[in-house]
């Protein structure tokens, strides 16, 4: 087996923005630290409105003048495919840049994030010449058509939890559709996106089409949202920020938005499951993957009383088996928490829930790792009141809230959340029960007898209600980066 471990001090970080095909450094505004050991990695400059303006204007000019949108679409597809090949060739380098400042263990960035990113680029490349318009039924003296065209420049704002994969879900369909784009990664995970953009230029993408600006939400994110030359926004992050993004898009446009926001996803377990152990594995992975820092974390377990006892016992046993290693260690599989304030927020939420009556079945506590770092053990809380904070709020940490039920209607009622509707899991041997759940649950995605996305990029992902608007992945994500123009020609 290849040893994937590395030392953070041995890697060269691309520190800066990526503008007109070059890394632009200067400015030491934001300290980037590693959640794996708390060390200071670099100071990154912050783009204010002037730099965002330059990035947007550059992307607009290059998009207009380079022929990116007007070339044969297969030519664009060829560049994208080459980009995907380069991503794979630089897989180790990208994985290290991702792992060093994020919560993603090196085994997973090498084994999943980077291959998934490369294949995602290939997936969207395939749409370049597959979407056309219609010819309308008009009188023979007219030719009526609808044609799709890119917006020009799109803005993309990404979170820190899967920095490259999330950024690529915004940026790649936009570029494939013929747009230029300005991406802001999270200020906590700023490095890998710069290298990704560099590889795009190496693959043949015109320099300046895809620009990366670094900075915080208030200084840089807002400037992107409000920029008049940016015609469409794609945002992934919290619901609170998503609302701010939508307001800014309304006031500065209005311009369309794709919003992938938070969740509080339920997992329903019925008493006809064939294996408690298998379901326990699924539920455990669904709330501890990336230490719960996943939008679709299955953070609410709704379990039939007939199987509650053995299932909870199996989950509690698994909680005691995780070990904390820095993300760059070969043995790492469990993630740290991204920052100290976030760890404290999780612990406070658990404490407040216990004070409000929740029963702790497995404690969420700080864990030690050899190199330091911020780790919390998986926690399980039994809840009887739907108003409990741990039942209501997105924890974004490794904490599972549990309620039990007696009949199916009670389970469906418990699954409802007043704000979120991102995903849901249903674990049952009954096809008719599964179908009823699929039709009843208010969630953008329902998984049956599994939990989590597959590598089928064709399945769109996105939430209902407070979990967002629009879709990432799938044909829909590509189409969202095009606008429809109607044409009527007199032909006689």
In the complex, which residues of this chain contact ligand NAD (CB under 6 A)?
157-161, 166, 184, 186-187, 216-218, 221-222, 225, 236-238, 241, 244-245, 260-263, 295, 394, 396, 422, 463, 468
Looking at beta carbons only, is 24 or 295 nearer to ligand NAD? 295
Is-catalytic flag, 295?
Answer: yes
State the minimum distance, in angstroms, from the CB of residue 46 to ligand NAD.
11
Q: What's the DSSP call for residue 15?
A: -
Q: d(Cα 175, Cα 167) in Å, to the nearest integer?
A: 12
Q: Kindly tell me which of 166 and 446 has the beta carbon lying closer to ligand NAD.
A: 166
Task: Please provide residue 173's backbone torsions phi and psi, each rounded to the nearest 5 degrees.
Answer: -65, -30
According to DSSP, residue 31 is labeled E
Give dist(CA 188, CA 215) in Å, integer: 9
- In terms of Cα–Cα distance, which of 133, 132, 138, 137 is closest to 490? 138
The smaller minimum CB distance to ligand NAD, of residues 254 and 320, is found at 254
Considering beta carbons, is residue 54 or 187 the nearer one to ligand NAD? 187
Active-site choice (295, 319, 393, 394): 295
Q: How far is the CB of 469 from ligand NAD (least distance, A)?
A: 11
CA 164, 166, 170 angle in degrees (round to 5)?
Answer: 110
Q: CA geometry: angle at 178 spanning 177 and 183, to 5°?
A: 90
Q: Which is nearer to ligand NAD, 371 or 394 (CB)?
A: 394
The CA distance from 405 to 398, in Å, is 23
Tokens describing residue 73: 């679409």
Please give the distance of CA 77 from its chain centroid, rounded to a whole number.
Answer: 24
Angle between helices 91-101 and 163-176 (to 10 degrees): 130
Candidates 198, 260, 371, 393; catalytic one: 260
Closer of 131 and 244 to ligand NAD (Cβ): 244
Compute the least distance from the CB of residue 464 to ligand NAD, in Å.
11
Q: How far is the CB of 10 from ligand NAD (least distance, A)?
A: 27
Please tell me the distance from the alpha carbon of residue 353 to that of residue 376, in angstroms, as a whole number: 17
Task: Return d(Cα 482, Cα 315) in angstroms, integer.
Answer: 46
**In the complex, minimum distance from the CB of residue 55 to ligand NAD, in angstroms, rounded to a whole number:** 15
State the minimum distance, in angstroms, from the CB of residue 486 to ligand NAD: 32
Of 360, 362, 359, 364, residue with least CA distance to 348: 364
Q: Are strands 266-269 and 464-465 parallel, antiparallel or unpaired?
A: unpaired
Distance of closest approach, residue 59 Cβ to ligand NAD, in angstroms: 18
Q: How far apart are CA 259 and CA 9, in angstroms?
A: 36
Which helix H or strand E contains 49, and what residues bound it?
helix 49-65
Q: Three-class SS of residue 488?
A: strand
Q: Looking at the annotation, which residues are catalytic?
A: 260, 295
């Amino acid at each position: 087996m290849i040893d994937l471990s590395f030392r953070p001090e041995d890697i060269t970080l691309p520190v800066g923005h990526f503008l007109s095909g070059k890394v632009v450094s200067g400015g030491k505004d934001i300290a980037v630290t590693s959640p794996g050991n708390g060390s200071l990695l670099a100071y990154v400059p912050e783009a204010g409105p002037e730099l965002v303006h330059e990035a947007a204007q550059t992307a607009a000019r290059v998009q207009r003048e380079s022929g990116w949108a007007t070339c044969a679409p297969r030519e664009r597809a060829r560049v994208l495919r080459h980009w995907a090949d380069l991503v794979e060739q630089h897989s180790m380098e990208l994985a290290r840049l991702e792992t060093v400042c994020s919560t993603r263990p090196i085994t997973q960035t090498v084994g999943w994030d980077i291959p998934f990113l490369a294949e995602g680029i290939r997936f969207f490349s395939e749409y370049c010449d597959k979407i056309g318009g219609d010819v309308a039924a008009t009188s023979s003296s007219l030719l009526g058509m609808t044609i799709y065209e890119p917006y020009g420049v799109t803005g993309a704002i990404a979170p820190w939890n899967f920095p490259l994969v999330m950024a690529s879900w915004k940026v790649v369909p936009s570029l494939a559709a013929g747009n230029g784009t300005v991406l802001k990664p999270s200020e906590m995970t700023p490095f890998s996106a710069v290298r990704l953009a560099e590889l795009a230029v190496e693959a043949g993408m015109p320099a300046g089409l895809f620009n990366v600006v670094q900075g915080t939400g208030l200084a840089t994110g807002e400037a992107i949202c409000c920029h008049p030359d940016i015609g469409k926004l794609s945002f992934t992050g919290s619901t609170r920020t998503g609302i701010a993004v939508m307001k800014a898009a309304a006031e500065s446009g209005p311009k369309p938005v794709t919003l992938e926001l938070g969740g509080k996803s339920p997992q329903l377990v019925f008493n006809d499951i064939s294996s408690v152990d298998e379901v326990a594995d699924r539920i455990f992975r669904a709330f501890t993957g990336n230490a719960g820092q996943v939008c679709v974390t299955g953070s609410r377990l709704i379990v039939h009383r007939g199987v509650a006892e053995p299932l909870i016992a199996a989950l509690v046993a698994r909680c005691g088996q995780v070990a904390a290693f820095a993300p760059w260690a070969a043995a790492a599989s469990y993630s740290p928490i991204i920052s100290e304030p976030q760890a404290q927020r999780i612990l406070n939420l658990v404490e407040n829930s216990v004070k409000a009556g929740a029963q702790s079945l497995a404690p969420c506590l700080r864990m030690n790792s050899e190199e330091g770092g911020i780790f919390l053990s998986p926690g399980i809380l039994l809840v009887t009141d739907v108003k409990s904070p741990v039942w209501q709020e997105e924890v974004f940490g490794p904490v599972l809230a549990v309620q039990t039920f007696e009949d199916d209607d009670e389970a469906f009622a418990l699954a409802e959340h007043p704000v979120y509707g991102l995903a849901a899991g249903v674990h049952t041997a009954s096809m008719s029960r599964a179908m009823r759940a699929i039709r009843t649950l208010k969630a953008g995605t329902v998984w049956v007898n599994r939990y989590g996305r597959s590598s089928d990029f064709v399945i769109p992902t996105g939430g209902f209600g407070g979990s967002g608007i629009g879709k990432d992945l799938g044909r829909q994500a590509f189409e969202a980066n095009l606008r429809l123009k109607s044409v009527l020609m007199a032909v006689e």
